[in-house]
Amino acid sequence: MGQIHNTQPIRVGLLADEPIRLAGLTSVFEEGPRNGEAPLLPVIGSIEELLTGTTLEYLVVDLNASSGGLATLDAIRRARPDIRQIVIGPDGNDELIMESIISGARAYLDSTAGPATVRQAIDVVTSGSIWAPRRLLSKLIDRLLSVPESNSTGGSPHLTIRERQVLELILLARSNREIAHQLGIEERTVKAHVGRLMRKTGSDNRIELSIQALNRSLVLPSAPKQDS
């Protein structure tokens, strides 16, 4: 039987106070879905409206056109820790970018990013990956690794064999879709494993999960793979 593609629209909230910026963000969704991918549906509203209910999984936050800055990201994280944020903000502020990622952002784009780049970042995030400058991810990892081990959750959680397999692939920056393909399981099953890994480690996003895995030696050194 051929693969059944998901045609259920993915609702993506848009948070921006300036009408011109909002119109620009809306135009990103004019391009139709790629082959086999679910269509993206923009949802416009205030932060209160967008966070009401549980139908939104993704939220684009334009820090250049919305008041509150990092406080807005923190408020979103507290109200909906499961929502994935795509943040657009000023360029050249490495500290802001890293703080945005720590606050739950899965992507960070500077304000000069064109519609094609914004759409690409949204596609990357909806596929389960992270979009951020590599140099900043490296700095973020260095910062988190420098946190004293006593600050981490005590004890190592028990992980199943499958959870360890998923975690190893997360450390290789694989998306949920790529993990599903490599392990021969459904993408929704991968999402369930990732959710359990985050709960077991007390992580809020994949970067924190990766740091926990490295700090607490949750994965074994790579070994030659055996035929199953």
Kindly tell me if the per-residue pLDDT of 96 is higher than 70: yes
Q: Tell me, what's the pLDDT at 21?
A: 83
Helix axes 161-171, 206-215, angle to 10 degrees: 110
Evaluate whether 61 touches 89 at the Cβ level (below 8 Å): no
The fold for domain 147-215 equals Arc Repressor Mutant, subunit A (1.10.10)
**For domain 10-136, which CATH number applies: 3.40.50.11540, 3.20.20.210, 3.40.50.2300, 3.40.1350.10?**
3.40.50.2300
Distance CA 169, CA 81 (A): 23
Sheet of 10-15, strand order: 40-44, 10-15, 58-62, 84-89, 105-110
Q: Which parts of the chain are beta strand (E)?
A: 10-15, 40-44, 58-62, 84-89, 105-110
Mean pLDDT over the full length of the chain: 78
pLDDT band for 3, please (50, 70, 90 cuts): very low
Q: Strand, coil or helix: what is 192?
A: helix
Please say whether the beta carbons of 85 and 106 come within 8 A: yes
* Cβ–Cβ < 8 Å for 96, 90: yes
More confident residue, 208 or 134: 208
**119/225 Cα distance (integer angstroms):** 37
Listed in order, the ranges of the chain carrying CATH 1.10.10.10 are 147-215
In the chain, % of residues over pLDDT 70: 78
Query: Percent of the chain, pLDDT > 90?
Result: 12
Residue 188, pLDDT > 80, answer yes
pTM higher than the cut 0.95: no
pLDDT for 220 beyond 70: no
Hey, what long-range contacts does 88-92 have (CB within 8 A, 24 or more apart)? 88/60, 88/61, 88/62, 88/63, 88/64, 88/113, 88/118, 89/62, 89/63, 89/64, 90/63, 90/64
Tokens representing residue 144 in the block: 């988190």
pLDDT in the model for residue 141: 65
pLDDT > 80? residue 178: yes
> Which is higher by pLDDT, 74 or 86?
86
pLDDT for position 223: 38
Q: How confident is the model at residue 185 (pLDDT cuts 50, 70, 90)?
A: very high
**Model confidence over 109-152: pLDDT tens digits?**
888 888 888 888 888 888 877 887 666 666 666 666 555 444 44
- Per residue in 19-69, pLDDT (tens digit) is 888 888 898 888 777 666 778 889 998 888 888 866 788 999 988 766 567
* Residue 158, H or E segment: none
53: left (phi over 0), alpha (psi -120 to 50) or beta: left
Q: Where in the chain is the domain with CATH 3.40.50.2300?
A: 10-136
What amino acid is encoded at 18 in this protein? E
